[in-house]
Structure 1
Amino acid sequence: MIELLRKVSLFDQMTDEQLEHILSIAQRRTFPAGTVLFHENDYGAAFYVILKGSIKIFKRSAKGEEKVLTLLQSGDSFGELSLIDGRPRSASAATLEPTSVLVIAEQPFHELLRTHYDITRRIMAELCQRLRDTNQHVHDLTFLDSRTRVIKNLILLANRHGQRSGNLIAIRMPLNYDELAQMAGVQKNVLAEVIRDIEDRGILRLSPNEYTLDLSKLRS
Protein backbone atom coordinates (compact mmCIF):
# COMPACT_ATOMS: atom_id res chain seq x y z
CA MET A 1 0.00 0.00 0.00
CA ILE A 2 2.88 2.35 0.77
CA GLU A 3 4.25 1.80 -2.73
CA LEU A 4 0.88 2.91 -4.14
CA LEU A 5 1.08 6.11 -2.11
CA ARG A 6 4.58 6.82 -3.42
CA LYS A 7 3.10 7.08 -6.93
CA VAL A 8 0.89 9.97 -5.76
CA SER A 9 2.68 13.28 -6.37
CA LEU A 10 1.41 14.74 -3.09
CA PHE A 11 3.15 12.00 -1.10
CA ASP A 12 6.19 10.96 -3.14
CA GLN A 13 8.67 12.85 -0.92
CA MET A 14 7.36 11.47 2.36
CA THR A 15 9.12 8.90 4.55
CA ASP A 16 7.69 5.46 5.29
CA GLU A 17 6.69 6.69 8.75
CA GLN A 18 4.83 9.65 7.28
CA LEU A 19 3.10 7.43 4.74
CA GLU A 20 2.03 5.08 7.52
CA HIS A 21 0.47 8.12 9.19
CA ILE A 22 -1.43 8.91 5.97
CA LEU A 23 -2.76 5.37 5.91
CA SER A 24 -3.80 5.64 9.55
CA ILE A 25 -6.01 8.71 8.90
CA ALA A 26 -7.42 7.58 5.54
CA GLN A 27 -9.94 5.02 4.40
CA ARG A 28 -9.49 3.02 1.22
CA ARG A 29 -12.73 2.61 -0.70
CA THR A 30 -13.56 1.04 -4.06
CA PHE A 31 -16.53 2.12 -6.18
CA PRO A 32 -18.07 0.64 -9.34
CA ALA A 33 -18.29 2.63 -12.57
CA GLY A 34 -20.94 5.34 -12.57
CA THR A 35 -20.82 6.04 -8.82
CA VAL A 36 -21.34 9.69 -7.85
CA LEU A 37 -18.95 10.43 -4.98
CA PHE A 38 -20.49 13.81 -4.29
CA HIS A 39 -22.84 16.29 -5.95
CA GLU A 40 -22.39 19.97 -6.64
CA ASN A 41 -23.53 22.02 -3.61
CA ASP A 42 -23.02 19.10 -1.19
CA TYR A 43 -21.21 19.85 2.05
CA GLY A 44 -17.51 19.09 1.60
CA ALA A 45 -16.58 16.46 4.15
CA ALA A 46 -13.60 14.66 2.58
CA PHE A 47 -10.52 14.86 0.37
CA TYR A 48 -9.87 12.11 -2.19
CA VAL A 49 -6.74 10.57 -3.72
CA ILE A 50 -7.18 8.21 -6.67
CA LEU A 51 -5.23 4.96 -6.31
CA LYS A 52 -6.65 3.19 -9.36
CA GLY A 53 -9.28 4.04 -11.96
CA SER A 54 -10.60 7.38 -13.22
CA ILE A 55 -12.97 10.15 -12.14
CA LYS A 56 -14.81 12.87 -14.01
CA ILE A 57 -15.47 16.24 -12.39
CA PHE A 58 -18.58 17.81 -13.86
CA LYS A 59 -21.38 20.34 -13.48
CA ARG A 60 -25.03 19.98 -14.46
CA SER A 61 -27.40 22.73 -15.59
CA ALA A 62 -30.96 23.24 -14.34
CA LYS A 63 -32.11 21.43 -17.51
CA GLY A 64 -29.95 18.43 -16.69
CA GLU A 65 -27.26 19.16 -19.27
CA GLU A 66 -23.85 17.97 -18.15
CA LYS A 67 -20.50 19.71 -18.60
CA VAL A 68 -17.33 17.73 -17.90
CA LEU A 69 -14.70 20.02 -16.37
CA THR A 70 -11.80 17.61 -16.09
CA LEU A 71 -10.82 13.96 -15.99
CA LEU A 72 -8.62 12.51 -13.25
CA GLN A 73 -6.71 9.24 -12.98
CA SER A 74 -4.52 7.35 -10.50
CA GLY A 75 -2.20 9.70 -8.64
CA ASP A 76 -4.58 12.66 -8.93
CA SER A 77 -6.40 14.21 -5.97
CA PHE A 78 -9.59 16.22 -5.66
CA GLY A 79 -12.18 17.54 -3.23
CA GLU A 80 -9.91 19.92 -1.34
CA LEU A 81 -11.53 23.19 -2.45
CA SER A 82 -14.61 23.10 -0.23
CA LEU A 83 -12.54 21.82 2.70
CA ILE A 84 -10.28 24.85 2.40
CA ASP A 85 -12.88 27.60 1.91
CA GLY A 86 -15.74 25.98 3.86
CA ARG A 87 -18.21 26.42 0.99
CA PRO A 88 -20.31 23.72 -0.73
CA ARG A 89 -18.87 21.54 -3.47
CA SER A 90 -18.35 23.54 -6.66
CA ALA A 91 -18.89 20.51 -8.92
CA SER A 92 -19.84 16.85 -8.86
CA ALA A 93 -17.52 13.83 -9.06
CA ALA A 94 -18.28 10.39 -10.52
CA THR A 95 -16.30 7.28 -11.40
CA LEU A 96 -15.81 6.38 -15.07
CA GLU A 97 -14.71 2.81 -14.27
CA PRO A 98 -14.16 0.71 -11.12
CA THR A 99 -12.08 3.06 -9.00
CA SER A 100 -10.19 2.85 -5.71
CA VAL A 101 -9.59 6.00 -3.68
CA LEU A 102 -8.15 7.07 -0.37
CA VAL A 103 -10.62 9.20 1.58
CA ILE A 104 -9.31 11.64 4.19
CA ALA A 105 -11.95 13.32 6.35
CA GLU A 106 -12.05 17.07 6.96
CA GLN A 107 -10.32 17.32 10.35
CA PRO A 108 -7.39 14.95 9.53
CA PHE A 109 -7.01 16.78 6.20
CA HIS A 110 -6.54 20.14 7.94
CA GLU A 111 -4.09 18.58 10.41
CA LEU A 112 -2.16 17.20 7.44
CA LEU A 113 -1.95 20.68 5.89
CA ARG A 114 -0.72 22.16 9.18
CA THR A 115 2.02 19.59 9.70
CA HIS A 116 3.27 19.01 6.13
CA TYR A 117 4.04 22.19 4.24
CA ASP A 118 5.22 20.26 1.17
CA ILE A 119 1.75 18.78 0.78
CA THR A 120 0.12 22.17 1.39
CA ARG A 121 2.34 23.75 -1.30
CA ARG A 122 1.52 21.06 -3.84
CA ILE A 123 -2.20 21.47 -3.23
CA MET A 124 -1.80 25.23 -3.69
CA ALA A 125 0.06 24.60 -6.95
CA GLU A 126 -2.71 22.27 -8.13
CA LEU A 127 -5.37 24.89 -7.39
CA CYS A 128 -3.34 27.50 -9.29
CA GLN A 129 -3.07 25.15 -12.28
CA ARG A 130 -6.83 24.61 -12.28
CA LEU A 131 -7.36 28.37 -12.38
CA ARG A 132 -4.95 28.64 -15.32
CA ASP A 133 -6.75 25.77 -17.06
CA THR A 134 -10.09 27.54 -16.56
CA ASN A 135 -8.71 30.76 -18.04
CA GLN A 136 -7.38 28.83 -21.03
CA HIS A 137 -10.70 27.05 -21.49
CA VAL A 138 -12.54 30.37 -21.59
CA HIS A 139 -10.04 31.57 -24.19
CA ASP A 140 -10.54 28.43 -26.30
CA LEU A 141 -14.33 28.71 -26.23
CA THR A 142 -14.05 32.35 -27.28
CA PHE A 143 -11.41 32.17 -29.99
CA LEU A 144 -11.01 28.60 -31.30
CA ASP A 145 -13.27 26.84 -33.80
CA SER A 146 -14.99 23.54 -32.95
CA ARG A 147 -12.56 21.30 -34.85
CA THR A 148 -9.53 22.86 -33.15
CA ARG A 149 -11.15 22.52 -29.71
CA VAL A 150 -11.84 18.81 -30.24
CA ILE A 151 -8.29 18.08 -31.39
CA LYS A 152 -6.80 20.21 -28.62
CA ASN A 153 -8.76 18.32 -25.96
CA LEU A 154 -7.61 14.98 -27.37
CA ILE A 155 -4.01 16.23 -27.22
CA LEU A 156 -4.47 17.47 -23.65
CA LEU A 157 -5.82 14.06 -22.62
CA ALA A 158 -2.87 12.40 -24.33
CA ASN A 159 -0.36 14.68 -22.60
CA ARG A 160 -1.87 14.11 -19.19
CA HIS A 161 -2.98 10.48 -19.28
CA GLY A 162 -1.37 8.90 -22.35
CA GLN A 163 1.45 6.40 -22.71
CA ARG A 164 3.81 7.14 -25.57
CA SER A 165 5.53 4.67 -27.85
CA GLY A 166 7.37 6.45 -30.66
CA ASN A 167 4.89 8.65 -32.49
CA LEU A 168 1.88 6.90 -30.94
CA ILE A 169 0.19 7.96 -27.71
CA ALA A 170 -2.38 5.60 -26.21
CA ILE A 171 -4.98 7.08 -23.85
CA ARG A 172 -6.49 4.27 -21.77
CA MET A 173 -9.66 5.85 -20.49
CA PRO A 174 -13.35 4.92 -20.89
CA LEU A 175 -14.45 8.29 -22.26
CA ASN A 176 -17.61 8.43 -24.34
CA TYR A 177 -18.68 10.91 -27.02
CA ASP A 178 -20.93 12.83 -24.63
CA GLU A 179 -18.07 13.52 -22.22
CA LEU A 180 -15.59 14.43 -24.94
CA ALA A 181 -18.13 16.80 -26.53
CA GLN A 182 -18.72 18.45 -23.15
CA MET A 183 -15.00 18.96 -22.57
CA ALA A 184 -14.52 20.51 -26.01
CA GLY A 185 -17.69 22.61 -25.74
CA VAL A 186 -19.21 21.28 -28.99
CA GLN A 187 -22.40 19.52 -30.02
CA LYS A 188 -22.13 15.74 -30.27
CA ASN A 189 -22.84 15.74 -34.02
CA VAL A 190 -19.96 18.20 -34.52
CA LEU A 191 -17.68 15.98 -32.44
CA ALA A 192 -18.68 12.94 -34.52
CA GLU A 193 -17.81 14.77 -37.76
CA VAL A 194 -14.38 15.76 -36.45
CA ILE A 195 -13.69 12.27 -35.08
CA ARG A 196 -14.64 10.64 -38.42
CA ASP A 197 -12.39 13.05 -40.30
CA ILE A 198 -9.29 12.51 -38.14
CA GLU A 199 -9.94 8.74 -38.12
CA ASP A 200 -10.04 8.77 -41.94
CA ARG A 201 -6.74 10.67 -41.94
CA GLY A 202 -5.17 8.06 -39.61
CA ILE A 203 -4.59 10.60 -36.85
CA LEU A 204 -6.87 8.81 -34.37
CA ARG A 205 -7.73 5.18 -33.70
CA LEU A 206 -10.58 4.28 -31.35
CA SER A 207 -11.30 1.12 -29.37
CA PRO A 208 -13.78 0.59 -26.50
CA ASN A 209 -11.44 1.72 -23.71
CA GLU A 210 -8.56 3.33 -25.57
CA TYR A 211 -7.75 6.17 -27.94
CA THR A 212 -4.50 6.27 -29.93
CA LEU A 213 -3.09 9.45 -31.47
CA ASP A 214 -0.49 9.32 -34.23
CA LEU A 215 1.66 12.40 -33.70
CA SER A 216 3.44 12.12 -37.04
CA LYS A 217 0.13 12.34 -38.92
CA LEU A 218 -1.18 15.02 -36.57
CA ARG A 219 1.81 17.24 -37.36
CA SER A 220 1.30 16.79 -41.09
Structure 2
Amino acid sequence: MLLIEKVLILRSSEIFRNTPEQELIGLAGILEEIYMEADENLFSKGDRGNCMYFIHKGRVRIHDGSHTLAVLESNEIVGELSVLDAENRSASATTVEESILLKLEQEPFYEILMDNAEILKGILKTLCRRLRIMDHKSVTHHKSNLTSLPSL
Protein backbone atom coordinates (compact mmCIF):
# COMPACT_ATOMS: atom_id res chain seq x y z
CA MET A 1 0.00 0.00 0.00
CA LEU A 2 1.34 3.42 -0.91
CA LEU A 3 2.06 6.05 1.74
CA ILE A 4 -0.56 8.37 0.23
CA GLU A 5 -3.20 5.62 0.54
CA LYS A 6 -2.39 5.26 4.23
CA VAL A 7 -2.64 9.03 4.70
CA LEU A 8 -6.07 9.02 3.04
CA ILE A 9 -7.21 6.16 5.29
CA LEU A 10 -6.07 8.08 8.36
CA ARG A 11 -7.72 11.27 7.13
CA SER A 12 -11.06 9.44 6.75
CA SER A 13 -10.92 8.38 10.41
CA GLU A 14 -12.68 10.56 12.98
CA ILE A 15 -9.56 10.51 15.14
CA PHE A 16 -7.27 12.05 12.55
CA ARG A 17 -9.72 14.26 10.67
CA ASN A 18 -8.17 17.51 11.99
CA THR A 19 -4.55 16.35 12.11
CA PRO A 20 -2.07 18.31 9.95
CA GLU A 21 -0.94 16.47 6.83
CA GLN A 22 2.74 16.40 7.91
CA GLU A 23 1.75 14.52 11.07
CA LEU A 24 -0.34 12.08 9.04
CA ILE A 25 2.57 11.39 6.69
CA GLY A 26 4.80 10.56 9.66
CA LEU A 27 2.13 8.36 11.18
CA ALA A 28 1.35 6.60 7.91
CA GLY A 29 5.00 5.64 7.58
CA ILE A 30 4.93 3.56 10.78
CA LEU A 31 1.63 1.73 10.17
CA GLU A 32 1.95 -2.00 9.58
CA GLU A 33 -0.38 -3.58 7.01
CA ILE A 34 -2.10 -6.76 8.13
CA TYR A 35 -4.07 -9.01 5.78
CA MET A 36 -6.54 -11.40 7.39
CA GLU A 37 -8.96 -14.03 6.12
CA ALA A 38 -12.57 -14.29 7.29
CA ASP A 39 -13.09 -15.67 10.79
CA GLU A 40 -9.52 -14.99 11.96
CA ASN A 41 -8.91 -13.87 15.53
CA LEU A 42 -7.26 -10.45 15.75
CA PHE A 43 -7.01 -10.58 19.55
CA SER A 44 -8.77 -12.28 22.45
CA LYS A 45 -10.36 -10.94 25.61
CA GLY A 46 -7.68 -10.85 28.30
CA ASP A 47 -4.75 -10.49 25.89
CA ARG A 48 -2.33 -7.73 26.80
CA GLY A 49 -2.97 -4.84 24.41
CA ASN A 50 -0.42 -2.34 23.12
CA CYS A 51 -1.76 -1.34 19.72
CA MET A 52 -4.86 -0.38 17.78
CA TYR A 53 -6.00 -1.11 14.26
CA PHE A 54 -7.61 0.88 11.47
CA ILE A 55 -9.97 -1.13 9.31
CA HIS A 56 -9.13 -0.32 5.70
CA LYS A 57 -11.30 -3.06 4.17
CA GLY A 58 -13.56 -5.66 5.69
CA ARG A 59 -15.47 -6.00 8.93
CA VAL A 60 -14.40 -6.96 12.45
CA ARG A 61 -16.73 -8.39 15.08
CA ILE A 62 -16.11 -7.30 18.67
CA HIS A 63 -17.41 -9.96 21.01
CA ASP A 64 -17.34 -11.57 24.42
CA GLY A 65 -17.63 -15.26 23.69
CA SER A 66 -20.65 -15.71 21.45
CA HIS A 67 -22.18 -12.35 22.45
CA THR A 68 -21.54 -9.74 19.74
CA LEU A 69 -20.93 -6.25 21.10
CA ALA A 70 -20.35 -4.50 17.76
CA VAL A 71 -19.39 -5.06 14.14
CA LEU A 72 -16.92 -2.45 12.93
CA GLU A 73 -16.36 -1.61 9.27
CA SER A 74 -14.05 0.33 6.97
CA ASN A 75 -12.66 3.59 8.37
CA GLU A 76 -13.32 2.53 11.95
CA ILE A 77 -10.78 1.67 14.62
CA VAL A 78 -10.38 -1.40 16.80
CA GLY A 79 -8.51 -1.61 20.10
CA GLU A 80 -8.15 2.11 20.76
CA LEU A 81 -8.28 1.59 24.54
CA SER A 82 -5.14 -0.55 24.46
CA VAL A 83 -3.13 2.07 22.66
CA LEU A 84 -3.95 4.44 25.53
CA ASP A 85 -3.39 2.24 28.58
CA ALA A 86 -1.84 -1.12 27.55
CA GLU A 87 -4.16 -3.10 29.81
CA ASN A 88 -5.76 -6.44 29.02
CA ARG A 89 -8.25 -6.45 26.15
CA SER A 90 -11.86 -6.11 27.34
CA ALA A 91 -13.29 -8.13 24.42
CA SER A 92 -12.22 -10.31 21.52
CA ALA A 93 -11.99 -9.20 17.88
CA THR A 94 -12.54 -11.55 14.94
CA THR A 95 -12.72 -10.74 11.24
CA VAL A 96 -16.12 -11.27 9.65
CA GLU A 97 -14.71 -11.27 6.12
CA GLU A 98 -11.37 -10.89 4.40
CA SER A 99 -9.90 -7.70 5.86
CA ILE A 100 -7.00 -5.30 5.51
CA LEU A 101 -6.00 -3.58 8.75
CA LEU A 102 -3.38 -1.00 9.60
CA LYS A 103 -1.70 -1.59 12.95
CA LEU A 104 -0.45 1.28 15.13
CA GLU A 105 1.79 0.42 18.08
CA GLN A 106 1.53 2.33 21.36
CA GLU A 107 4.99 3.97 21.57
CA PRO A 108 4.95 5.68 18.14
CA PHE A 109 1.36 6.72 18.86
CA TYR A 110 2.42 8.44 22.11
CA GLU A 111 5.19 10.30 20.31
CA ILE A 112 2.73 11.68 17.78
CA LEU A 113 0.11 12.34 20.46
CA MET A 114 2.50 14.62 22.36
CA ASP A 115 2.78 16.89 19.33
CA ASN A 116 -0.89 16.96 18.35
CA ALA A 117 -3.83 17.47 20.71
CA GLU A 118 -6.27 16.99 17.80
CA ILE A 119 -5.50 13.27 17.78
CA LEU A 120 -6.36 13.01 21.48
CA LYS A 121 -9.61 14.89 20.85
CA GLY A 122 -10.46 12.46 18.06
CA ILE A 123 -9.85 9.41 20.25
CA LEU A 124 -11.92 10.91 23.07
CA LYS A 125 -14.80 11.63 20.67
CA THR A 126 -14.68 8.06 19.37
CA LEU A 127 -14.63 6.60 22.88
CA CYS A 128 -17.48 8.86 24.01
CA ARG A 129 -19.59 7.90 20.99
CA ARG A 130 -19.05 4.20 21.67
CA LEU A 131 -19.85 4.63 25.38
CA ARG A 132 -23.09 6.44 24.52
CA ILE A 133 -24.09 3.61 22.18
CA MET A 134 -23.33 1.01 24.87
CA ASP A 135 -25.24 3.05 27.48
CA HIS A 136 -28.23 3.28 25.16
CA LYS A 137 -28.15 -0.47 24.53
CA SER A 138 -27.88 -1.15 28.26
CA VAL A 139 -30.79 1.16 29.16
CA THR A 140 -32.96 -0.27 26.36
CA HIS A 141 -32.15 -3.82 27.45
CA HIS A 142 -32.87 -2.96 31.10
CA LYS A 143 -36.24 -1.33 30.23
CA SER A 144 -37.31 -4.30 28.12
CA ASN A 145 -36.51 -6.64 31.02
CA LEU A 146 -38.58 -4.50 33.39
CA THR A 147 -41.61 -4.47 31.11
CA SER A 148 -41.49 -8.23 30.71
CA LEU A 149 -41.63 -8.94 34.46
CA PRO A 150 -44.79 -10.68 35.63
CA SER A 151 -47.33 -8.72 37.66
CA LEU A 152 -47.48 -9.42 41.36
The TM-score bracket by the shorter chain reads 0.7 to 0.9
Aligned to 1:14: 19
Match of 2:51 in 1: 46
* 8 Å contact kept, 1:56–1:70: yes
Q: Is the Cα–Cα contact under 8 Å of residues 44 and 82 in structure 1 kept in the other structure?
A: yes
Alignment RMSD, CA only?
1.6
Give CA-to-partner distance per residue, 1:83-111, whole Å, 9 cap, x none. Answer: 32332000011111111111011211222
- Could you say which residue in structure 1 is the equivalent of 2:70? 70
Aligned residue among 3, 26, 30 for 1:25: 30
Can you give the 5+ residue segments of structure 2 that lack an aligned partner in the other structure? 146-152
Letter in 1 for 2:61: K
- Distance of aligned partners of 1:85 and 1:17 in 2 relative to their CA distance in 1, 3 Å threshold: closer
Cα distance between partner residues in 2 of 1:131 and 1:12: 20
CA distance in 2, matches of 1:136, 1:83: 25
Q: Which runs of structure 1 show a deviation greater than 6 angstroms over 4 or more consecutive aligned residues?
A: none
Residues paired across the two proteins, number:
140
> 1:127 — aligned with what?
127
Do the aligned residues in 1 keep the contact of 2:19 with 2:119 (CA within 8 Å)?
Answer: no
Q: Report the CA distance between 1:16 and its aligned residue.
A: 3.5
**Structure 1 residue 130, shift from structure 2 partner:** 1.9
Q: Conserved in 2, the CA contact under 8 Å of 1:82 and 1:90? A: no
Matches of 2:17 and 2:87, distance apart in 1: 29
Larger radius of gyration: 1
Deviation at 1:141, TM superposition (A): 1.1
Residue 25 of structure 1: SS of its match in structure 2? Answer: coil
**Which runs of no fewer than 5 residues in structure 1 stay unpaired?**
61-65, 146-220
Greater shift, 9-18 or 34-43, is seen at 9-18
| Per-residue deviation, 1:73 | 0.7
Q: Secondary structure at the match of 1:37?
A: strand
Name the amino acid aligned to 1:19.
L
Secondary structure of the corresponding residue to residue 137 of structure 2: helix
Q: CA deviation at 1:8?
A: 2.1
* Matching of residues 102-181 of structure 1 within 5 Å: 102-144=102-144
The question of 1:56 aligning with 2:61 is answered yes
Are 2:36 and 2:99, in contact at CA under 8 Å, matched by a contact in 1?
yes
In the superposition, the TM-score normalised over structure 2's length comes to 0.84
Percent identity of the aligned residues? Answer: 30
> TM-score, length-normalised on structure 1?
0.59
